[in-house]
Amino acid sequence: GAGVSQSPRYKVAKRGQDVALRCDPISGHVSLFWYQQALGQGPEFLTYFQNEAQLDKSGLPSDRFFAERPEGSVSTLKIQRTQQEDSAVYLCASSLKRDTYNEQFFGPGTRLTVL
Amino acid sequence: GENVEQHPSTLSVQEGDSAVIKCTYSDSASNYFPWYKQELGKGPQLIIDIRSNVGEKKDQRIAVTLNKTAKHFSLHITETQPEDSAVYFCAASRAGFQKLVFGTGTRLLVSP
């Protein structure tokens, strides 16, 4: 496809359920990022992959959050035992190279609502 | 760590007017400063960026300025149009680190 895609676009979960959010980056992009965007706020960094290696997971808020990118393309963000404070839009971004200055292209996000 | 502050939080202008959004950052090691536009229900879209070795960059109606000494950078939109209405985010990135640190956003409303 032409851009970063994410699925599902909307997810409603009951508190305590596990959820899995998928990101398909732009083909050939080496770097992949996950951000969390609370309502009315800017995106906040969660984690970063370079190919299949998770190089930075300093932004993951708790050990209930887990991300993987096993083959260096598609990535999944998993949240276990969801809590109401996990409600947010989860954004995925990819960039072509590993350079610091490289442009990050964002997907449309997955809006997670935890009841 | 890096902290990015953004002002104003909301900005209303008439079509054809100019709009200016300002950001400050705390980490003097930051050297890449992109600006994103986010429309309702969509992901952020990069509209312009600037690197620390440049003081100003223009792209048609959009320009960004950077003052490294004062640690602030600004987005200038001239001849605003209703389709410029959106939320705009500034961000900063540090050399050697890939993650972006975002400001809190500016909601721009351009009235016809």
pLDDT digits over B30-78, tens only?
A: 999 999 999 998 999 999 999 888 889 999 999 999 999 999 999 999 9
In chain A, DSSP assigns E strands to 5-7, 10-13, 19-24, 31-37, 44-50, 53-56, 65-68, 75-79, 88-95, 105-106, 110-114
Mean pLDDT of chain B: 94
Residue numbers in A near B100 (CB within 8 A): 33, 35, 43, 45, 104
Task: List chain A residues with CB under 8 Å of B104.
Answer: 41-42
pLDDT of residue B54: 80
Where helices occur in chain B by DSSP H, the ranges are: none
The pLDDT tens digits along chain A (115 residues) read 579 999 999 999 999 999 999 999 999 999 999 999 999 999 999 999 999 999 999 999 999 999 999 999 999 999 999 999 999 999 999 998 766 567 899 999 999 999 9
Tokens 């960039």 belong to residue:
A95
Per-residue pLDDT at B48: 96
CA distance B4 to A115: 32
- Contact across the interface for B46 and A44, Cβ inside 8 Å: no
Identify the pLDDT of residue A103. Answer: 85
- Check if A65 contacts B (Cβ < 8 Å): no
